[in-house]
């Protein structure tokens, strides 16, 4: 168990809640798993658990203040933030969650959090009504949107003797979450992954274009997931309103299918894996105007269209041994049949089929429901409706198994 924590640098942030007593066990388990742990505790945290216990178990002085009162020695939250492979705040009280969400840097734990470059895991613990308050929900939502991992509180008897959601997750479970994270974190190390995302837009004139409803969410989720598994990611993106957050993602912005093709051909040369998640416009205007077409004099009732190149098929034709090429097929009917046909026509190794007939799947949603099709000899794999992040993880696992 927990073999992936060996040698990892972990900041254990402890805030002032009853559940702080459980952090002692968490610290012990982390040390047992071979991690190096630096405890950072808030002033309130020290009311619940003594630094003596924590420093004895971690083998390091506990950090709580910005500097030591005796010696004036300055504790650098910046250095700590850079040292860590992960930061875990457990327990995280409503107040600390609010401070983290809003950058209220009034103690060493919060400044360390704000300086941390490593992934952050937050295990809330509070009374049920505080947990259910819209303020807490909103702050946790904010933290999630920063890319932090929330280790959901469990339900059960609380310190108040009331029963409900608010118990800090058990230390064993928290260690499991971290272990899984580090196991996954290296699964694509040393690999170069190219991903296309979003729509392409094809200019009619300087004002108008032909486009589609793609928002890029699936492609960006794949890029985030691949980067968090250690891959070097090149994300060739059409115009979208979202941004890539995880370090390790190089975004190449393009507008049209022709631009996307050029960027992809370049990036594919030294990629190990290419995932084509973009909704490429099938056609473009044959003669885009360089001035705005006037409705009255010229009219735009007829736009001559010509076919765009098939980028996935172009890469499929160039694919070398060892390169893996994965496509998507968004279908409205005969999804599996059409997907299978695209798999062979484009010389793909796997295709992700989703159907607009499924509720929660397709453009703009945060969820997706996919079936993976492989080349001859491997049965299709169907997954239930999941968040696009979870779908991205399933897709990458499948690619690793090719
Ligand atoms: N694709 C591509 N270049 C295109 C069209 C599609 O790279 N010009 C890629 C998509 O990114 C996707 C796969 O090919 O991975 C299938 O896209 P889809 O639009 O479903 O297929 P088409 O070949 O365009 O077929 P149709 O529109 O007839 O369903």
Tens digit of each residue's pLDDT (9 = 90 or more) over 9-42 = 999 999 999 999 999 999 999 999 999 999 999 9
212 in catalytic set: yes
Beta strand pairing status for 192-197 and 163-167?
Answer: unpaired
Q: Which two tokens stand for residue 376?
A: 């001859």
- Mean of pLDDT values over 251-264: 98
Q: To 5 degrees, how large is the angle CA 229–CA 230–CA 234?
A: 100
Question: b/e for 106-130, b at 16 or more Cβ within 10 A?
Answer: ebbbbbbbebbebbbbbbbbbbbeb
CATH code reported for the domain at 3-184: 3.40.50.1950
Checking if the pLDDT of 69 tops 90, the result is no
- Residues 36-68 pLDDT 10s: 999 999 999 999 999 999 999 999 999 998 877
DSSP class of 61: P
Task: Indicate the top mutation candidate among 282, 371, 399 to test ligand 1's pocket, ranked by most ligand atoms within 8 A of CB.
Answer: 282
Average pLDDT, the chain: 93
User: Same fold for the domain at 3-184 and the one at 192-400?
Assistant: yes
Q: Which of 120, 114, 97 is nearest to 166 (CA)?
A: 97
For residue 203, the Cα-to-chain-centroid distance in whole angstroms is 32
Q: Which CATH class name applies to 192-400?
A: alpha beta
Q: Which residues are CB-contacts of 373 (< 8 A; sequence separation ≥ 6)? A: 336, 339, 340, 343, 350, 351, 353, 380
Nearest CA to ligand 1 atom 20: 329
- pLDDT at residue 1 tops 70: no
Distance CA 302, CA 286 (A): 11
Active-site annotation holder among 212, 302, 308, 368? 212
Q: How far is the CA of 379 from the centre of ligand 1 (A)?
A: 22
CA distance 261 to 317: 13
State how far the Cα of 235 lies from the Cα of 222, in Å rounded to an integer.
Answer: 9
- Note the helical H segments in 166-304: 171-185, 217-228, 257-268
pLDDT tens per residue, range 150-177? 999 999 998 889 899 999 999 999 999 9
* Average pLDDT of span 190-198: 97
- Where exactly are the structural domains of the chain? 3-184, 192-400
| Whole-angstrom distance, CA of residue 123 vs CA of residue 89 | 6
Residue 370 DSSP SS3? strand
- For the record, the structure tokens of 85 come out as 């492979």
Share of the chain above pLDDT 70, in %: 100
Full-model pTM: 0.73
């Amino acid at each position: 168990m927990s073999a992936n924590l060996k040698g990892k640098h972990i900041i254990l942030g402890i805030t002032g809640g009853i559940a702080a007593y459980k952090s002692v066990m968490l610290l012990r388990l982390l040390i047992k798993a071979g991690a190096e742990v630096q405890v950072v505790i808030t002033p309130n945290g020290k009311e619940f658990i003594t630094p003596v216990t924590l420093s004895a178990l971690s083998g390091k002085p506990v950090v709580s203040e910005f500097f030591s009162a005796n010696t004036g020695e300055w504790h650098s939250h910046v250095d700590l933030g850079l040292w860590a492979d992960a930061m875990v705040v457990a327990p995280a009280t409503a107040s600390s969650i609010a401070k983290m969400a809003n950058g209220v840097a009034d103690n060493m734990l919060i400044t360390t959090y704000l300086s941390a470059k490593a992934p952050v895991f937050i295990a809330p613990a509070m009374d049920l009504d505080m947990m259910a308050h819209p303020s807490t929900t909103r702050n946790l939502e904010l933290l999630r949107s920063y890319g932090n991992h929330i280790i959901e509180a469990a339900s059960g008897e609380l310190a108040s003797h009331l029963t409900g959601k608010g118990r800090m997750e058990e230390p064993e479970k928290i260690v499991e979450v971290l272990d899984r994270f580090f196991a996954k974190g290296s699964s694509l190390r040393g690999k170069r992954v190219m991903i296309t995302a979003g729509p392409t837009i094809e200019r009619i004139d300087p004002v108008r274009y032909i486009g589609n409803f793609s928002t890029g969410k699936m492609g960006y989720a794949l890029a985030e997931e691949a980067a968090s598994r250690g891959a070097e990611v090149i994300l060739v993106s059409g115009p979208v309103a979202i941004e890539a957050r995880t370090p390790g993602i190089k975004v190449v912005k393009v507008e049209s299918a022709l631009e996307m093709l050029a960027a992809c051909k370049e990036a594919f040369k030294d990629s190990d894996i290419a995932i084509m998640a973009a909704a490429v416009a099938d056609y473009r205007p044959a003669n885009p105007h360089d001035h705005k077409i006037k409705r009255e004099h010229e009219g735009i009732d007829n736009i001559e269209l010509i076919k765009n190149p098939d980028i996935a098929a172009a890469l499929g034709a160039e694919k070398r041994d060892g390169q893996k090429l994965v496509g998507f097929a968004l279908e409205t009917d005969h999804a599996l049949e059409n997907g299978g046909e695209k798999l062979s026509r484009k010389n793909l190794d796997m295709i992700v089929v989703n159907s607009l007939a499924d509720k929660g799947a397709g453009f703009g949603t945060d969820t997706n429901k996919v079936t993976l099709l492989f080349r001859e000899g491997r049965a299709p794999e169907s997954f239930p409706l999941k968040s696009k992040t979870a779908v991205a993880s399933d897709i990458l696992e499948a690619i690793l198994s090719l």
